[in-house]
Amino acid sequence: MTMKVLEIKNVHKIYNSTEVRVHAVNDISLNIEEGEFTAIVGPSGSGKTTLLNMIGGLDHPTKGTILVDGTDLSTLKSSRLIDFRMKNIGFVFQSYNLIPVLTARENVEFIMNLQKWPKQERNNRTMDLLNAVGLGDRADSRPAKLSGGQQQRVAVARALASKPKFVLADEPTANLDSKSTANLLDIMEHLNRNENITFIFSTHDARVVKKARRVITLEDGKILSDKQREGKEAITKNQK
């Protein structure tokens, strides 16, 4: 039986200013199951970044519920939310966000250090992940000595370090050339298919969309379409 790792129920996000009220996310409901490779797409202003930030616990809904592995993010106090996020959600950002003074190895093991993993277990997992993304031989290189594609692969390894429930990838290919993009997507697809790692992308990149097995299209803060590929029946709007 497939497990739901994420449940979004009637979520709204409203921004108020002195002049205008913006409904950035408008009554979105959907589920993400373990092992999905899903792209959230839509034009600028469609709400995809806002939705991704709320899924990641970086922002809070105005109304509605977001459950990660059954835990309602809105019920967690700030310190507990940080800890929960660190253990359960991996992040890959457009700008890599590696710590420049740390090596690839040290960047990957950073979260495990914070979580006080035993040294040998931490070292083993770090090298397993760097080998998985093809960078075992660059473990002692700092970000400045790595190409953009290599830095993003380190970021993927870091996102997986704490064995999260899913990985959020926000425009992960935006700063990469076509060869680096193809390499990164092949690695992520391999991790998804062979290790059942769940990936959720926010993207404008047609190459990411082509790889995705589920594509959720947003427009004006609402789900315009939600489609499964590989011959699976399309998921209806506002999936239950």
Share of the chain above pLDDT 90, in %: 89
Model-level pTM?
0.90
CA 150 to chain centre: 18
pLDDT band at 1 (very low <50, low <70, confident <90, very high): low
Instruction: Tell me the residue type at 185.
Output: L
Residue 16's pLDDT band (cuts 50, 70, 90): confident
| C-alpha 14 chain-centroid distance | 23
Spacing of C-alpha 32 from chain mean position: 12
Q: Domains of the chain (ranges plus CATH)? A: 36-46+76-228 (3.40.50.300)
pLDDT digits 0-9 by tens, 135-153: 999 999 999 999 999 999 9
Is residue 57 classed exposed, middle or buried when 0-12, 13-18 and 19+ CB atoms within 10 A define those classes?
A: buried
pLDDT at 17: 72
- Tell me the backbone φ, ψ of residue 194, rounded to 5 degrees: -95, -25
Residue 226: band (very low, low, confident or very high) from pLDDT cuts 50, 70, 90: very high
Residue type, 113: N
Distance from C-alpha of 147 to C-alpha of 134, rounded to nearest angstrom: 13
The pLDDT tens digits of the residues spanning 109-129 come to: 999 999 999 999 999 999 999
Q: Which residue(s) pair with 40 in the sheet?
A: 202, 216
| For residue 99, pLDDT beyond 90 | yes
Instruction: Copy the structure tokens of residue 171.
Output: 């425009």
Q: What are the two backbone dihedrals, phi and then psi, of residue 8, each rounded to the nearest 5 degrees?
A: -115, 120
**Percent of the residues in the chain that have a pLDDT greater than 70, as a whole number:** 95
**pLDDT interval class at 230 (50, 70, 90):** low
Per DSSP bridges, beta strands 214-219 and 37-41 are parallel
